[in-house]
Structure 1
Amino acid sequence: MKPISGVIPAIPTIFKDNMEIDFDGIENCIEFAIKSGAGAIAPMLLGGEFYKLTFNEKIEIINNVSKFRKRIKIFAGVSEPATFAAAKLAEKARDSGVSGIILMPPYYYPYGKLENSIIAKHFIDISNSIDIPVIIQDFGYRSNMPLKLLKTIAANNIAGIKTEGKDSARRIHLLHTNFPDISILGGYLGFDMVNELNNSSDGSITGLAFLDILSGVYEKYRNNDKTYIDDFSKIQELLGFEAENLKFFVQIEKKILYRRKIIIYTNVRSPEPEMPGRMDSKLNMILDKIWI
């Protein structure tokens, strides 16, 4: 049986007005995830602004979210540009009792013969330093990872692969064919989740803002309840809006969570482009349509 399935939200990192972490806000997000039927939670991914956090803040977040480990599975993002730092973070995550880790390739390496061997060693060294499942984030220097590289890495304690991009459904079919014993997860904010499920995904790592609807769609799909089509259609315009404006997706997610009364701060840390007012108006118009 594959170890990872369901809809797994990327938990946002909430910041107060002084840009310190609002741990109460993070906990509110996790409570919402549990209530909404999440298959697990994933703090400190791109949606959690991991690249804007200090190493000590990441340790604090791991300590904070680990208190939920008896209520829900936790897959902590531990991506770092340096193998040593990522391994230390992975070890801390393991010691805190999380279910597993999620790891991106070092994003500054383009794929190539020499670079692929370095990237493979990065994953293998980290996965071999712990004894908990590892999910590969199938994205790196501007593209998906080469299949040969993934095969080299997948032989080392890899439990899942999360893929990205507009062509994720086709990619999921390819990964499912080549890695039948590994959980294959979609992403892309949940925008193409149904198509991904039709191509044999085991679930999806999505945003948090509409997890309740996405989790319901997943369960209905698995139970052959065709009303999932109507449920998914309710949020397709919103997910499309997020997908079209990826550089603002963290801000969009936080604005929706604020409107849903899950968080009280919508701050994002710099560097971050300011979301234009016209986009904010468009977002509110879409949310008004779905009564949020």
Structure 2
Amino acid sequence: MPQGTLADIQGSYIIAQTPFDDRGAVDLTSIDSLADFYVGHGANGFVVLGVSGEGGKLTPDEAQSVTARFIARAGGRPVIVGVSNPGTAQLALLAKQAMDQGAAGVMIAPPGGLRTEEDLLGYFSTVFGMIGDVPTVLQDFPGSTGVWMSVSSILKLIESHPQIQVVKEEDLPSLGKITRLREGGGRRVAILTGNNGLYLPQELGRGIDGPMAGFSHPEMLSGVWRLHSKGRVEEAHDLFDCYLPLLNYEAQGFWGVAARKEVMRRRGAIRHATMRMPGPKLGPQHMSELDLLVRRVERAVANRR
């Protein structure tokens, strides 16, 4: 059986950004303030070195430093580390390093190039044979990986590999797939969802355990989950609606991540909004758009009180 358990996790698991200084170097001090910002706004745990966290732009030494800093600042909250990699040997090394540093588990997505269910099952059999009993989040994100996993394939993976304790479901459309996974029987795993949280209220209605997403206002993610879990569904939707225009603006790939970082800089979470190259830079029009969106969010939230 796996070293620990993630199967019972619920709540808001933030896809953490990686802060850089104005020259593009990793800003470890801002990791402290960012982790405090996330926790102060209701985060139950973190995912580091994800796609939107710019994990692929870090050197191996930087990746270890970022992971260690988040774990040290998390106050005992689970930290999950993205270790997806085209090479299984490198993936296994990254997983070992993460667990040695005190991670609660790792997140793995299938690499591009897998075309059949046989390819998929064979790949994960190899991976789990190499990494052993490491609690794992299986990331289903064909929009990024190009690999489509059917519900039956995911259920086969869950039954074959007890290491899989969470499915991060962000195939689109997500709602029907969540329902089929929940109705599929077998061993229960947690289901968390991404896609920037754009469909969070509906996904909660389908039985997910919480969001695993990034947003410049993480209090929305935790607040909507908390209200919904208490049966206050209409209130959860009302809160979500306050943030939707800004949330939608941040759902523009890496342009959206740049916007997210800028908003979090304004909120004091990080010192600089830098994205490491290759990455977009916001222009004056983007800044004006953010001025308007943030102002409208603040007014909408204030009007709820």
After TM superposition, is the score higher than 0.5? yes
- Contact 2:223–2:236, Cα closer than 8 Å, also in 1: yes
Q: Which residue of 2 aligns with 1:271?
A: 278
1:249 CA drift (Å) = 2.0
What do residues 136-162 of structure 1 show as CA deviations (whole Å, max 9, x unaligned)?
111243254233432343221110000
Opposite residue 207 of structure 2, the aligned amino acid is: S
What do residues 62-121 of structure 1 show as CA deviations (whole Å, max 9, x unaligned)?
222221354311111112221111111111111122211111212x31422563245323
- Contact 1:139–1:164, Cα closer than 8 Å, also in 2: yes
Q: Which residue of 2 aligns with 1:163?
A: 169
1:291 CA drift (Å) = 2.5
- Contact 1:76–1:93, Cα closer than 8 Å, also in 2: yes
Q: Which residue of 2 aligns with 1:175?
A: 181
Q: What SS does the corresponding residue of 1:267 show, helix, strand or coil?
A: coil
Residue 236 (structure 2) aligned to one of 228, 239, 245 = 228
Q: Which residue of 1 aligns with 2:149?
A: 145
Q: What SS does the corresponding residue of 1:92 show, helix, strand or coil?
A: helix
Instruction: List aligned pairs for 1:218-257, cutoff 5 A.
Output: 218-225=225-232, 226-243=234-251, 245-257=252-264
Q: Distance in 1 between matches of 2:195 and 2:117?
A: 28
1:190 CA drift (Å) = 0.9
Q: Which residue of 2 aligns with 1:87?
A: 92
- Contact 2:20–2:272, Cα closer than 8 Å, also in 1: yes
Residue 292 (structure 2) aligned to one of 236, 261, 285 = 285
Opposite residue 140 of structure 2, the aligned amino acid is: D
Q: Which residue of 1 aligns with 2:3?
A: none
Q: What SS does the corresponding residue of 1:41 show, helix, strand or coil?
A: strand
Task: Choose 39-48 or 175-184, whichever is displaced more.
Answer: 175-184
Opposite residue 211 of structure 2, the aligned amino acid is: S
1:14 CA drift (Å) = 0.6
Q: What SS does the corresponding residue of 2:18 show, helix, strand or coil?
A: coil
What do residues 243-276 of structure 1 show as CA deviations (whole Å, max 9, x unaligned)?
2x22412102101101211111111111224445
Distance 1:229 1:69, change over 3 A: closer
Opposite residue 183 of structure 2, the aligned amino acid is: T
What do residues 187-243 of structure 1 show as CA deviations (whole Å, max 9, x unaligned)?
111111000001111111111411112211111111122422221111011112222
Residue 109 (structure 1) aligned to one of 109, 113, 116 = 113
Q: What SS does the corresponding residue of 1:213 show, helix, strand or coil?
A: helix
Q: Which runs of 5+ in 2 are unaligned?
A: 1-5, 300-305
- Contact 1:123–1:153, Cα closer than 8 Å, also in 2: no
Opposite residue 30 of structure 2, the aligned amino acid is: G
Opposite residue 109 of structure 1, the aligned amino acid is: G
- Contact 1:164–1:186, Cα closer than 8 Å, also in 2: yes
Q: Distance in 2 between matches of 1:170 and 1:147?
A: 10
Q: Which residue of 2 aligns with 1:185?
A: 192
**What TM-score comes out, normalization by structure 2 length?**
0.87
- Contact 1:101–1:134, Cα closer than 8 Å, also in 2: yes
Q: Distance in 2 between matches of 1:170 and 1:246?
A: 24
Q: Distance in 1 between matches of 2:118 and 2:181?
A: 23
Number of positions where the alignment pairs a residue of Structure 1 with one of Structure 2: 288
- Contact 2:275–2:281, Cα closer than 8 Å, also in 1: no
Q: What SS does the corresponding residue of 1:5 show, helix, strand or coil?
A: coil
Opposite residue 79 of structure 1, the aligned amino acid is: S
Q: Distance in 1 between matches of 2:56 and 2:104?
A: 22
Q: Distance in 1 between matches of 2:213 and 2:117?
A: 32
**What TM-score comes out, normalization by structure 1 length?**
0.90
Identity of aligned residues (%): 25
Match status 1:65 vs 2:70: yes
